[in-house]
């Protein structure tokens, strides 16, 4: 944690005022400037580390789980931290005597948790009970728990070295695992971020991620991920977890060494659908219709092999499935007529795996570049649909992605545990509340629609003005069409018959009825004035609400 400029000025003012009363103006200025120099040094040290939320101090030894840690506060109330396990998140705030800004920081913490009942903060001072009581009188929340620890026994029982910088803030979740720490003064924004880690169900340990993801994350075994895809550049910074990228800290120019050792992609092999015998009727599959060919991808394989590179005819394509967000993207790998090649980076952004472009050294989140020389570029998305296998089993000669190995049991859903609970692995950029976090939704332009709320066929217009029609194809997959042909927007009846024509510059009261235009189930006009016309399919995103709302 580093000291912000505005906050540093506040510290300077307080420190100067405190010392002026004691030892005079000149000495106060010298000491105050020295304090700022120390803060700047701590900030610089923080920036040089992979984890932007802590400095060079090791947090491996900080532990309260399984320990019998008891203490008495300044009002003689006794506490035992073990009794809070599973009930309360815990914040332990350590500070030494003569801290001119600690009262302000404690007030910031208390304000941030004033309406949160499952956080228990403890403020520990290395000074006498009398001094701590006088200090506590400056705090807005009079119910705050303060402890006098003159012998440093509480410090040491938790594994805190008294020589560490001042103050120290440790954030423990309900399981009493350390989720974050600070070794310097924190701003309001930093405190809020750390408290969010406690109040949201984010996984923070390799053990938890392994358990919830069936042993795999981003297609890489966690044991191997620790030693592969390691970013060599110290400027690559992460959020609360070393696998989670903070794109604000990505440098503009990346190179191949930044993602050395990353897992390679797979070139899929296919079996004709009538020749396969291992996919169960109710297994979920994704399928793509492209130039008369159909490609089917069982979800259970994609969980284990989330990135594929292929060619649809002469078109180079990429297929990326992300189990943590339950989203799939099929895209053209052509940019400016140049074919791009990708590998899995081993890092996430907004809970979604990222790809590394080994052609231009850029980092991609789905179809959008988020770092490197192509930052901001978008890949052309190819529509992909979702259904169960029994619905597509009758498509003769459809190409089914076959099992890449015989070692893995692809009949098992490796993310079944993750799917049925409300856990999110990494912290989000923002929290939306329209739907439950794992509600299955589709995203058209920037509009979110819950799949279970769709009334097929359903018409509407997005906030960007795109007129859409949501329907189902003969195989049960959701399809979204643009209802606009040239300059005219059309409406349809249940039987795919146009009921009116609405030029966008004409009032809706002047609609002209066309009852003779007939359309096929794939929205090709077979009869009427528009015979031969085709509604264009819109490639939409489908997956968990928490991700698509970002």
Nearest Cα to Cα of residue 86 among 172, 163, 168:
172
Q: Are residues 36 and 170 in the same domain?
A: no
Task: Looking at the structure, tell me whether residues 403 and 511 fall in a common domain.
Answer: no
Claim to verify: residue 145 and residue 35 sit in the same structural domain = no
In a domain, 117, yes or no: yes
Question: Which residue reads 């390679």 in tokens?
Answer: 264
* CA atoms of 59 and 351, how far apart (whole Å): 24
- The reply to whether 330 and 456 lie within a common domain is no
Instruction: Tell me if the bond preceding 167 is cis, omega within 30° of 0.
Output: yes
Which pLDDT belongs to residue 108? 87
Burial track 230-252 (b if 16+ CB lie within 10 A, e otherwise): bbeeeebbbbbbbbbbbbeebee
Name residue 520's beta-bridge partners: none
pLDDT of the residue at 460:
94
Q: Are residues 71 and 139 in the same domain?
A: yes
Q: What is the pLDDT of residue 511?
A: 44
State residue 128 phi and psi, 5-degree precision: -70, 160
Residue 409 tokens read as 């049991």
Task: Confirm whether 226 is domain-assigned.
Answer: no
Q: What is the DSSP string of 296-342?
A: EEEHHHHHHS-EEEEEETTEEEEEEEETTTTEEEEEE-EETTEE--E
Does residue 4 sit within a domain? Answer: yes
CA angle 111, 112, 117 (to 5 degrees): 100
Cβ neighbourhood burial of 425 (10 Å; 0-12, 13-18, 19+): buried
Q: Is residue 434 part of a domain?
A: no
Q: How many CA atoms lie within 13 A of 374 on its CB side?
A: 23
- Check which CATH number belongs to the domain holding 165 and give it: 3.40.30.10
Per-residue b or e along 266-281, where b marks 16 or more CB atoms closer than 10 Å to that residue's CB: bebebbebeebeebee
User: Does 368 reside within a domain?
Assistant: yes
Confidence (pLDDT) at 298: 95
Tell me, yes or no, whether 429 lies in a domain: no
The pLDDT, as a whole number, for residue 254 is 61
Are 121 and 172 found together in one domain?
A: yes
| Of the candidates 188, 201, 197, the residue with the CA atom closest to the CA atom of residue 112 | 188
Do 167 and 76 lie in one domain? The reply is: yes
Distance, CA of 108 to chain centre: 26
- Domain count of the chain? 4
Distance CA 319, CA 305 (A): 10
The average confidence (pLDDT) of the chain is: 75
| pLDDT reported for residue 447 | 94
Cα gap 155→178, rounded to integer Å:
15
Strand 293-298 to strand 399-401: parallel, antiparallel, or no bridges (unpaired)?
parallel
- Each residue's pLDDT tens digit, 213-257: 444 444 444 444 443 343 333 333 333 344 555 555 555 556 555
**Residues 410 and 458 both lie in one domain:** no
pLDDT at 103: 86
Unique residue bearing structure tokens 């895809």: 229
User: Model confidence over 343-393: pLDDT tens digits?
Assistant: 877 677 777 888 888 888 888 888 888 888 888 888 999 999 999 999 999
Assign residue 286 a region (left: φ > 0; alpha: ψ between -120 and 50; beta: otherwise).
beta
Is residue 32 within 8 Å of 19, Cβ to Cβ?
yes
How far apart, in whole angstroms, are the C-alpha atoms of residue 254 and residue 373? 7
Contacts of 528 (CB under 8 A, 6+ apart): 498, 514, 516, 517, 518
Which pLDDT belongs to residue 393? 95
Domain that holds residue 15: 1-48
Quote the pLDDT of residue 312.
95
DSSP H/E element including 399: strand 399-401
DSSP-derived letter for residue 536 is: E
**Residues 6 or more apart whose Cβ sits within 8 Å of residue 381:** 329, 330, 331, 367, 539
Please tell me the predicted confidence (pLDDT) of residue 429: 64
Helix (H) or strand (E) holding 268: none
Predicted local distance difference test score (pLDDT) of residue 235 = 37
Q: How far, in Å, CA of 491 to CA of 35, rounded?
A: 69
Residues 399 and 475 in one domain: no
Instruction: Work out the angle between the directed axes of helices 5-23 and 25-47 (0-180°, nearest 10).
Output: 150
One domain for residues 296 and 385 = yes
The whole-model pTM stands at 0.61
Q: Does residue 404 sit in the same domain as residue 526?
A: no
**C-alpha–C-alpha distance, residues 317 and 302, integer Å:** 16
- Indicate if 491 and 387 belong to the same structural domain: no
Q: Per residue of the chain (550 residues), give pLDDT as tens.
A: 333 333 333 333 443 443 334 444 444 433 344 444 443 333 333 333 333 333 334 444 567 777 888 889 999 999 998 888 878 888 988 887 667 788 888 888 888 786 667 789 999 988 889 989 988 888 888 888 999 988 888 878 887 776 666 788 888 888 888 877 887 778 777 787 777 667 654 444 444 444 444 444 444 444 444 433 433 333 333 333 445 555 555 555 565 555 544 555 678 899 999 998 889 999 999 999 999 999 999 998 898 888 899 999 999 999 999 888 999 999 999 988 899 998 877 677 777 888 888 888 888 888 888 888 888 888 999 999 999 999 999 999 999 999 887 677 788 777 777 787 777 776 666 667 788 889 999 999 989 999 999 999 899 999 999 999 999 999 999 999 999 988 888 888 777 777 666 555 444 444 444 546 788 888 888 888 888 889 999 999 999 998 998 8
Domain-embedded: residue 213: no
- Give how far Cα 410 sits from Cα of 58, 277, 303, Å: 40, 13, 9
For residue 430, tell me if it sits in a domain. Answer: no
């Amino acid at each position: 944690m580093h000291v912000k400029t505005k906050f540093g000025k506040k510290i300077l003012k307080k420190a100067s005022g405190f010392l002026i009363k004691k030892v005079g103006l000149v000495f106060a200025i010298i000491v105050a400037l020295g304090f700022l120099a120390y803060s700047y040094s701590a900030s610089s040290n923080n920036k040089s580390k992979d984890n932007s939320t802590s400095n060079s101090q090791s947090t491996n030894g900080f532990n309260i789980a399984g320990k019998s840690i008891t203490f008495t506060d300044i009002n003689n109330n006794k506490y035992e931290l073990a009794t809070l396990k599973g009930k309360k998140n815990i914040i332990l705030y350590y500070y030494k005597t003569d801290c001119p800004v600690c009262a302000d920081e404690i007030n910031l913490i208390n304000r941030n948790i004033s309406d949160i009942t499952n956080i228990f903060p403890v403020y520990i001072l290395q000074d006498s009970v009398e001094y701590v009581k006088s200090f506590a009188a400056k705090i807005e929340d009079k119910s705050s728990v303060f402890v006098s620890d003159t012998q440093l026994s509480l410090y040491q029982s938790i594994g805190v070295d008294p020589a560490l910088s001042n103050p120290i803030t440790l954030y423990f979740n309900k399981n009493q695992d350390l989720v974050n720490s600070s070794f310097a003064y924190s701003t309001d924004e930093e405190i809020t971020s750390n408290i969010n880690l406690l109040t949201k169900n984010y996984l923070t340990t390799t053990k938890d991620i392994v358990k919830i993801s069936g042993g795999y994350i981003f297609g890489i075994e966690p044991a191997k991920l620790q030693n592969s895809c390691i970013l060599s550049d110290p400027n690559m910074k992460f959020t609360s977890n070393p696998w989670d990228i903070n794109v604000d800290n990505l440098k503009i120019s990346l190179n191949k060494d930044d993602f050395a050792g990353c897992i390679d992609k797979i070139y899929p092999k296919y079996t004709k659908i009538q020749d396969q015998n291992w996919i169960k009727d109710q297994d979920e599959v994704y399928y793509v219709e492209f130039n008369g060919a159909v490609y089917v991808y069982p979800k259970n394989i994609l969980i284990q092999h989330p990135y594929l590179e292929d060619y649809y005819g002469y078109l180079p394509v990429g297929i990326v499935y992300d189990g943590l967000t339950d989203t799939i993207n099929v895209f053209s790998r052509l940019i400016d007529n140049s074919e791009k090649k990708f590998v899995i980076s081993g890092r996430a952004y907004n809970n979604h795996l990222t790809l590394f472009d080994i052609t231009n050294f850029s980092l991609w989140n789905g179809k959008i570049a988020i770092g490197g020389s192509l930052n901001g570029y978008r890949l052309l998305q190819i529509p992909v649909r979702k259904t169960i296998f029994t619905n597509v089993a009758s498509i003769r000669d459809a190409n089914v992605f076959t099992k890449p190995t015989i070692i893995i049991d692809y009949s098992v859903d490796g993310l079944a545990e993750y799917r049925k609970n409300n856990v999110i692995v990494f912290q989000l950029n923002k929290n939306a509340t329209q739907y439950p976090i794992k509600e299955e939704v589709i995203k058209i332009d920037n509009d979110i629609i819950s799949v279970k709320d769709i009334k097929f066929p359903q018409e509407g217009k997005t906030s960007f003005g795109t007129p859409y029609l949501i329907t189902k194809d003969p195989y049960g997959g959701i399809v979204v069409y643009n209802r606009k042909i040239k300059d005219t927007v059309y409406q349809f009846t249940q039987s795919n018959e146009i009921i009116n024509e609405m030029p966008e510059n004409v009032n809706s009261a002047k609609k002209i009825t066309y009852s003779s235009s007939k359309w096929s189930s794939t929205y090709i006009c077979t009869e009427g004035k528009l015979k031969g016309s085709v509604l264009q399919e819109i490639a939409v995103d489908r997956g968990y609400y928490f991700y698509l709302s970002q």
